[in-house]
Structure 1
Amino acid sequence: MDYGEGDAITKHDWTQWLDERAAAGLIRRLTVAGSPQGPRMRIDGRERLAFCSNDYLGLANDPRLAAAMHAGIDRYGVGAGSAHLINGHFESHDRLEVELADWLGVEDARLFSTGYMANLGVVGALVGRGDTVIADRLNHASLIDAVQLSGARLSRYRHNDLADLEARLERASGERMILTDGVFSMDGDVAPLAELVELAERFDAWLIVDEAHAFGVLGQTGRGSFEAAGLVPGERVLRVGTLGKAFGTAGAFVAGGAEPLEVLLQRARTYLFTTAQPPAVAEASRAALAIVRDEAW
């Protein structure tokens, strides 16, 4: 039985589907780490040289982040206990949002529990039925799912093909949104941001850029793919960043203008209806951001 990655599978077919994947060498299996993130790790009881981590700056096991997280636990406890809009938005969350916005030179930033949730939230809050999202074909799975859950029409342009994107923008109906990774995680290439910004402005479209693999890595001071390209994002640009990669902690954020960020506060379901990240994690993220700012090398 030939099932695609997104096809529905009934419970009667599970055994056959799993057997087919195993025969094709496609079964995913967990490995268990027994040491901190680092160039050398203990995986499934054996010492390994690791080439697959997203811990780009080696901060996941930095003692300064550990100390900040310990101090956060001593002050705030372990869990946030609630969603941000109830009583789960702590001083550490608030300060981290302010510091992220200041670092990127934008009006506001909004924390999310994961990068996946940030992408689902920002797309679903800004577009819906009757709108069109034009997305790069090699975008991360979270961006694809975000459009499907939003109810907007998904139009996928050939990877980094500006002519194809422009043609799709011309045919698009409703609110338009261009959706792209800043750095494409599987190939390592970078989106043509200058041209994307020009198209977004010409067609009055949102430009949402997932900077998960760019923040802390690209640009002279680590501010991501826009800094690397020498660009200042305009009013129609929002950037999504994760704290679980170069920053070495967990969670994510969306950064941009005050008005669209206020819309996220009011409408983003992955922000409204989930418990906030532990405030101690936000304290560790603040320490990571300070390191990135102070040690641009």
Structure 2
Amino acid sequence: MASVVKDEGSGYPIALDSFIPDLSAMSYSTLLTQTVLACVIVYVIFSKFNRKPRERELSEEVSNEKEALIASWEPEPLVPETPADHPALNPKYVDGKMTKYVQIDGKEYLNVATTNFLGLVGDERIEATAKKTIMKYGVGSCGPRGFYGTVDVHLDLEKELAEFLGCEEAVLYSYGFATIASAIPAYARRGDVIFVDKGVNFAIQKGVQASRSRIEWFNHNDMDDLERLLEEQAKLDLKDPKKAAKTRRFMVVEGLYYNLGDLCPLPKLLELKWKYKVRIFIDESISFGVLGKTGRGQLGNHFEMFFSLFLSEFFYLSRFCPL
């Protein structure tokens, strides 16, 4: 007799026999196969969760080899040992002021480690003036020049520098590196062309990089190489006059090269400037106060010639840009 139950939702009777297999109709082989298969599945499931890792026992020979390797291993140092004569372990002490000569551990040496080529360090007149200035103004301007860092001595110095160089105005910078590095991108922009000597100092290199202009490097003091590049640019300008009308061309050199110590061939540079209509930057950081009868640098030697822009370093801490 079939078992019947009533569905609570629909109220219709449901026969349970439809869900229970008829075991009487199954053969013994089929029933045995299904029983074995069910047992295998149950065994696999339980053995998976209850499995314990088996410990592998090493043979005595392998164990001895392992111990021998551990005993023979010597770790290498993370850093090499510092020799006893290393300079860091034997510091030298400087006595006195860093002037033309310097005392190190009681011995006198010629000081070639600083840019004191004008001999201003140790000058008693400069030291006395510096003390008076510090007592009056403090040790710094405490702010940028364009905001609240300008005091009367800045303006007086700019006026005197302009008169000394024979130009209309001079702009005083508080940080020497920033003078040429900011002046170049202030004039040159994307789309312009800058012809730069390969021997220029690092500040000029960063300045031309910041301008985003196209940079053409010519061999150091090689005017033939420079003229070749200028001639190539002139041919490009003839092919595209509209673009050439918007493209400005600059040359960047140093009056006295900081890295090499030689002079730029200024007369030839000015000749190429007028021939190819190129503006010129000349960094007189080292030559100012050194070259010329009046100490005006390369500009002082060729004062009758026009410069679009002249850049120079004033002593050691400040630079100025005469316009």
TM-score by length of 1: 0.69
**1:217-252 Cα distance to aligned partner (Å, 9 max, x none):** 111111101223x3434152x222112xxx3x4111
> What is the correspondence of 1:1-297 to structure 2 with a 5 Å cutoff?
34-43=95-104, 47-172=108-233, 174-228=247-301, 230-236=302-308, 238-243=309-314, 247=315, 249-256=316-323
Number of residue pairs aligned between Structure 1 and Structure 2: 224
**1:176-201 Cα distance to aligned partner (Å, 9 max, x none):** 11000111123321101111112222
Equivalent in the alignment of 1:10: none
Q: Which secondary structure does the structure 2 equivalent of 1:88 belong to?
A: coil
Query: Is the CA contact 2:221–2:264 (under 8 Å) kept in the aligned structure 1?
Result: yes
Q: Which secondary structure does the structure 2 equivalent of 1:87 belong to?
A: coil
How far apart in 2 are the matches of 1:32 and 1:123? 41
Give the AA of the match of 2:98: Q
Q: CA, structure 1 residues 39+166, in 2 after alignment: closer, same or farther (shift >3 Å)? A: same
How far apart in 1 are the matches of 2:271 and 2:288? 22
How far apart in 2 are the matches of 1:55 and 1:80? 24
Query: Is the CA contact 1:169–1:176 (under 8 Å) kept in the aligned structure 2?
Result: no
- Deviation at 1:135? 0.5
Q: CA, structure 1 residues 65+155, in 2 after alignment: closer, same or farther (shift >3 Å)? A: same
Dislocated runs of 4+, deviation >4 Å? 30-34, 43-46
- Deviation at 1:114? 2.7
**Identical amino acids, percent of aligned pairs:** 32
How far apart in 2 are the matches of 1:46 and 1:157? 45
Q: CA, structure 1 residues 32+118, in 2 after alignment: closer, same or farther (shift >3 Å)? A: farther
Query: Is the CA contact 2:100–2:116 (under 8 Å) kept in the aligned structure 1?
Result: no
Query: Is the CA contact 1:115–1:240 (under 8 Å) kept in the aligned structure 2?
Result: no
Q: CA, structure 1 residues 155+31, in 2 after alignment: closer, same or farther (shift >3 Å)? A: farther
Query: Is the CA contact 2:190–2:211 (under 8 Å) kept in the aligned structure 1?
Result: yes
How far apart in 2 are the matches of 1:109 and 1:65? 22
Query: Unmatched 5+ residue regions in structure 2?
Result: 1-79, 81-90, 234-243
Q: CA, structure 1 residues 45+132, in 2 after alignment: closer, same or farther (shift >3 Å)? A: farther
Query: Is the CA contact 2:256–2:284 (under 8 Å) kept in the aligned structure 1?
Result: yes
Query: Is the CA contact 2:94–2:104 (under 8 Å) kept in the aligned structure 1?
Result: yes
Q: Of the two structures, which has the highest relative contact order with CA contacts closer than 8 Å and spacing of 6 or more? A: 1
How far apart in 2 are the matches of 1:32 and 1:55? 20
